[in-house]
Amino acid sequence: MKLEDYKVVFAVVGLICVLLLAVPALSLAVHFPAGEKFSELWVLGSGHMAEDYPFNVNESGSYLVYLGVENHLSSSAYYEVILKFRNESEPLPNETAGVFSSSPPLYVYHAFLQDGQSWEQPLSFSFLQVSAAQNQSVVGGLTVNGVTLSVNKHAVWDDEGSGYFYELFMELWIYNVTSDAFQFHNRFVGLWLNVTAAS
Amino acid sequence: MSGLFKRCLRASAWLLLILMVAGLLSYGSPCVKGADDASVGVGNADAAVRQAFNATLEAERAGANVSGLILRLNEAGTVLGEAEIALGKGNSSEATSEAGQCVGIAESVKSDADALKASALDEARTVFWAYLAFSVVGIAVFVVALALVWRRFKRGYVGRTLGMKPEVAHDEA
């Protein structure tokens, strides 16, 4: 090998070693992009599994499900899970347009989660003042986690499903630090319920 | 004398009645005032929790471990939820009490988050200078060492080359 060839070897080895020595300082300045950022919202049955969801419910029963949220936003987040109740004719949130449901909030859970952390809380509910006459049913109230709430919802008889159907659904909202306000996080889950009066 | 006393008593009773009516009109009913106070209290609690979360997020961005703060924020969130429920049910005294408790937790979280952020920033500054010093000094020492090794190698190489004896090649053909 000629002297010039040795010079190239020295330069390459030197450059590699300089880069290795610069890694600690570079790590402070260079930040690699995080993966996909998202949040999860789920509802599980009474056995903490995706089964045994209440469907045929009546005024005399009490029902239990579990609500869960998981944060994958690369930083801590402040969530609200808002419980709402609707009949078949009222609109659901629009995921495409990112618009929340116009139904009034009945119950609100507050949850603070670090990145990768999950939160799960029980949701127990029962119905009050359920009546049905002339192909129309009315649900007067709802008890959620021991709190009595007035709902006054009407539903008409559904011939196809043979029942009076209502939906108990939960929207996920997130606190936006910049605007200092909660915004709909475009996630919701729901339970269809065939509500009948006490048997 | 008795007539004068009676007139004075009647005048005092009227005055007292007028003062009571005026008092009620200027302050509103005690029930409405209690509900307003509770509503303001819950609003303050909500704002305090948001501020505590903002401070926690800043501490996290500065590199602090905020898991303890998040636990306490969840506690504040639960109490805030209870205050909102009590307010919805018209239980003003419970709503005010829960809201006060929530503000207490949120303020303590905010103060701890500010302290954690300051210490995390100090630590980050120390780490930054230590890493920078390691890299700069390490590179400088390495470059000088490499230059010295190169000079020595080059001298040896040139010496070996000059010390070589020319070989006589035979033309076999």
**What is the domain count for chain A?**
2
Angle between helices A3-29 and B92-162 (to 10 degrees): 170
What is the ipTM score, two decimals? 0.85
Upper half-sphere CA count for residue B2 (Cβ side, 13 Å):
0
Residue B163 belongs to some domain of the structure: no
- pLDDT at position A159: 87
Closest residue in A to B48 (Cα) is A180
Residue B26 belongs to some domain of the structure: yes
Greater model confidence, A197 or B64? B64
Greater model confidence, B18 or B136? B136
- pLDDT at position B110: 97
Q: Which of A16, A21, A112, A149 to mutate to test the interface with B (most CBs of B within 10 A)?
A: A112
Closest residue in A to B154 (Cα) is A3
- pLDDT at position A4: 87
Res. B14 pLDDT band, cuts 50 70 90: confident
The answer to whether A169 touches A100, Cβ cutoff 8 Å, is no
Over residues B131-156, the pLDDT tens digits come to 888 889 999 999 999 999 999 988 88
Residue A124 is part of which domain span?
38-196
Contact B135 A22 (CB under 8 A): yes
B85 in contact with chain A, both atoms CB, cutoff 8 A: yes
B84 in contact with chain A, both atoms CB, cutoff 8 A: yes
Same domain, A162 and A106: yes
Is residue B60 scored above 70 in pLDDT?
yes
Same domain, A51 and A135: yes
Q: What dihedral do alpha carbons A76, A81, A82, A88 form, nearest 10°?
A: 130
- pLDDT at position B16: 72
**What is the domain count for chain B?**
1
Contacts of B31 (CB under 8 A, 6+ apart): none
- pLDDT at position B34: 65
Residue B87 is part of which domain span?
2-118
- pLDDT at position B6: 75
* Chain A residues within 8 A of B127 when measuring between CB atoms: 28
Same domain, A14 and A50: no
Token pair for residue A127? 């119905």
Residue B156 belongs to some domain of the structure: no
Residue B157 belongs to some domain of the structure: no
CA distances from A99 to A39, A93, A96, A138, A192 (A): 17, 6, 8, 27, 21
Over residues A62-121, the pLDDT tens digits come to 999 999 999 999 999 999 999 999 999 999 998 888 899 999 999 999 999 999 999 999
* Single pTM value for the model: 0.79
